Structure 1
Amino acid sequence: MRVGKVRNTQFILNNWFLVLIAIFAVAGMAQKVLLVFGSVLWHEFAHAVAALALGYKVREIELLPFGGVARIDRLGEASAKSEILMAAAGPAASMVLAAAIYLTIDLTPANEYWQFFYEINLMLALFNLIPALPLDGGRILRAVLALQCGYGKATLVVANMSRAVSGGLMVKVLYDYWFFQLLNLSLIIAAFFLYVAAKAELKVAGYRTMRILANKKADLCSRGYMPTTHYTAMANASVRDVVKLFEPERYHIILIVDESYRIRGSLTETEVWEALPVRGLYAKMGDFL
């Protein structure tokens, strides 16, 4: 259900969220559920504000039964530094709100609910800082690694960490069930979610890398300059291996040498991308000259 717009950002209440509110209201827990989703809304709103400040358009903020999502246009083209700022905004906002609540707990008459509100925001911040995709901590770590080794490899590293976290959560579930006969459904859902999400991130990593690099030419034209990295490649080297080295934050120039290490020519990144649809990823660098 669409509930309104703020500066062209549509706010949506998922139908299942409304059903959940109704169920908990009947059970006498509506206040706590509203506090949870108020916290989630605050968290997602912080992501949206950061995106707007960086020049991105936020289409929607939707509250779901188990969290929320801010849908940001051109997020797949964001630089590593921009992604760090947008991802960090959510946990930072949750921590600030948790700190404000903690400092005023003793001043409120509804102490139980205020304590619950504090714990939810603290948990929301800490959970999202886990270095696993698609959580904020995983996005921050991937962006930091992308500055060093490229987006594709960074995604692979963090996706494997996500699988490890997912496995760790399942070990915790089995441990609790074996020794205490407790079955934690929340951890099972979280483990499944992280595993599936990591797999999905790997599928789109190559596509997003291509989009980032394809937009670099326009960025260079608009800014007039860009940091540059030079590589030297053998003429018989696969272009696939060289393209993997390209980074979103820099422009690349490749010097091509033969087996005697004599210079055969040079290629700009733009020339490589323009010839790639014709030559293919498994062509040799010398074929691009």
Structure 2
Amino acid sequence: MRAGKIAGVEIIVNNWFLGLIAVFAVAGLADKALLIVSAVLLHELAHMLMAGGLGYKVKQVELLPFGATARVERLTDAGAVSEIMIAAAGPLASLGLAALCYVAAGGAGSWQEEIYFYGETHLMLAGFNLLPALPLDGGRILRAVLTRRRDYRAATAIVVTMSHIISCLLIVLAGLIFLLDYTVNLTMLVAAGFLLLTARTENTLAGFRTMRILARKKAELIACGIMPTRHLTAIEDAAISEVIALFGPEQYYIVHIVDQNFKLCGALTETEVWEGLLKKGIRARIKEFL
């Protein structure tokens, strides 16, 4: 559901988020529901400020049950360091706000209970978002770290698998709580369902990222006539999978191929590598592309 715009950023309220707020309202905790909403907005504001500081434009923010997701222009094309900085900004802000609440609660008088609750909300928001599951911040950080060693799609698949495992563990934990004291933990069940459904979407989108990045690079090169380039050198028998694993989103790549005596055999542009990959396959050797 669209809730309007703030400073040109469209605000979307996810149905799962509405359901969680409705549960709090039915339980007579509408005031606490408002505190949760403000905590989520502050968490997301930290992401937006970091993204803006790194030169990315925030187009849309979607409020989710346990955080929010910012639709940042070209964020999927960002390098690992940028993605880690943007993803980490939210949990760090929530942890900082939680600390401030606990410090302030001591002299809050009659507001002490509310401030403690607000601090706990920030703490839980940070803790949940640091779980290594997509689309949470922890999952994005882990994926960015993994892309230093593997391609984006493989890194996404690993984190999606972890997301499914965490979802199952949350369901099992909710079941144990029910068996021990006959209490249904709706929050935990909503979290499990949310992660199961949204992780699949991340896996699907990952498959389109490589071609989108290449198209952007080609468009920038045509428009500007020049762009930052990185050169790689590969032995002619190197697997093409090992070569493309080194391709990053922020530079255009030229691959120099040498033989066993380190004599230059030829060179390939990043575009030639990707186009050749469609014909030769992921198991091919780089010399087959010449």
TM range (shorter): 0.7 to 0.9
**Distance in 1, Cα, partners of 2:225 & 2:194:** 40
Q: Report what 2:187 is aligned to.
A: 186
The alpha-carbon deviation at position 77 of structure 1 amounts to 1.3
| Equivalent position to 2:231, from 211, 228, 232 | 228
SS in 1 for 2:247: coil
Q: Report what 2:257 is aligned to.
A: 255
Q: Report what 1:119 is aligned to.
A: 120
1:227-249 residue CA offsets vs partner (Å, 9 max, x unmatched): 433223449x6x56754553435
Q: Report what 1:101 is aligned to.
A: 101
* Of 245-254 and 101-110, the range deviating more from structure 2: 245-254
Q: Report what 1:177 is aligned to.
A: 178
**Distance in 2, Cα, partners of 1:22 & 1:183:** 16
Q: Is the 8 A contact 2:44 2:90 kept in 1?
A: yes
**Distance in 2, Cα, partners of 1:287 & 1:248:** 24
Q: 1:223 to 1:101 in 2, by over 3 A?
A: farther
**Distance in 2, Cα, partners of 1:178 & 1:104:** 38
The residue correspondences of 1:20-35 to structure 2 (distance < 5 A) are 28-35=28-35
- Aligned residues between the structures: 285
The alpha-carbon deviation at position 21 of structure 1 amounts to 5.9
Aligned-CA RMSD value: 3.4
Q: 1:66 to 1:154 in 2, by over 3 A?
A: closer
Q: Report what 2:146 is aligned to.
A: 145
Q: 1:88 to 1:22 in 2, by over 3 A?
A: closer
SS in 2 for 1:147: coil
**Distance in 2, Cα, partners of 1:170 & 1:70:** 27
The alpha-carbon deviation at position 225 of structure 1 amounts to 3.5
SS in 2 for 1:183: coil
Q: 1:253 to 1:63 in 2, by over 3 A?
A: same
Q: What stretches of structure 2 of length at least 5 have no aligned partner?
A: none
Taking structure 1 as the reference length, the TM-score comes to 0.81
The alpha-carbon deviation at position 106 of structure 1 amounts to 1.5
**Distance in 2, Cα, partners of 1:124 & 1:83:** 19
Q: Report what 1:76 is aligned to.
A: 76
Percent sequence identity over aligned pairs: 48
**Distance in 1, Cα, partners of 2:16 & 2:189:** 20
Q: Is the 8 A contact 1:98 1:122 kept in 2?
A: yes
AA paired with 1:53?
G
Q: 1:210 to 1:18 in 2, by over 3 A?
A: closer
1:245-275 residue CA offsets vs partner (Å, 9 max, x unmatched): 53435635152769x9997533222322355
1:96-144 residue CA offsets vs partner (Å, 9 max, x unmatched): 1111111100121311111100100010011101111111011011111
SS in 2 for 1:87: helix
AA paired with 2:50?
A
AA paired with 1:206?
G
SS in 2 for 1:230: strand
1:30-80 residue CA offsets vs partner (Å, 9 max, x unmatched): 211100010001011111111111111111234356643322222221211
Q: Is the 8 A contact 2:44 2:67 kept in 1?
A: no
Taking structure 2 as the reference length, the TM-score comes to 0.81
* Of 30-39 and 244-253, the range deviating more from structure 2: 244-253
**Distance in 1, Cα, partners of 2:192 & 2:2:** 30
AA paired with 1:61?
V
AA paired with 1:74?
R
**Distance in 1, Cα, partners of 2:131 & 2:121:** 16
**Distance in 2, Cα, partners of 1:57 & 1:159:** 26
Q: Report what 2:89 is aligned to.
A: 89
AA paired with 1:232?
I
Q: Report what 2:163 is aligned to.
A: 162
Q: 1:246 to 1:9 in 2, by over 3 A?
A: same
